[in-house]
């Protein structure tokens, strides 16, 4: 191969690599503002000062893999809502596991023995 053809070949290869690498940037964008995979709508009381409302808003605003776990609201059984989050974890699975641990730790802290168990409400 002559020098002329190898220079053109190198330019072609670099151009194609640049095109393929930049096309993946849009796919790997930020998750900020996304509610992610909702399994059930979290029960929020609407009070902006409520810890669970703050936690859910922080979850939606987070830019990385995050999860929000809460006790499902049932008018008959639960008079309270407990929650836990994990923001910007290395992966969605890790975020879900740590959000569940956070929710379970909250249940243990308040010594809750009845009502709903913690479940993942949303994750991304």
Q: Is the pLDDT of residue 4 over 50?
A: yes
pLDDT confidence tier of residue 44, bands split at 50, 70 and 90: confident
> For the chain, which residues make up each domain, given as ranges?
1-29, 37-123
Query: What does the H/E/C string look like for the chain?
Result: CCHHHHHHHHHHHHHHHHHHHHHCCCCCCCCCCCCCEECCCCCCCCCCCCHHHHHHHHHHHCCCEEEEEECCCCCCCCCCCCEEEEEEECCHHHHHHHHHHHHHHHHHHCCCCCCCCCEEEEEC
Q: Is the pLDDT of residue 1 over 60?
A: no
pLDDT in tens, 71-83: 887 665 556 789 9
């Amino acid at each position: 191969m002559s020098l002329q053809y190898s220079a053109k070949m190198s330019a072609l290869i670099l151009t194609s690599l640049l095109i393929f690498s930049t096309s993946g940037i849009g796919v790997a964008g930020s998750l900020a503002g996304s509610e992610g995979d909702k399994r059930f709508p979290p029960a929020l009381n609407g009070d902006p000062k409520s810890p669970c409302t703050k936690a859910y808003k922080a979850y939606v605003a987070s830019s990385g893999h995050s999860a929000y776990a809460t006790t499902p609201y049932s008018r008959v059984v639960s008079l309270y809502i407990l929650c836990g989050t994990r923001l910007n974890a290395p992966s969605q699975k890790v975020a879900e596991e740590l959000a569940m641990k956070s929710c379970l730790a909250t249940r243990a802290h308040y010594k809750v023995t009845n009502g709903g168990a913690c479940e993942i409400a949303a994750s991304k």
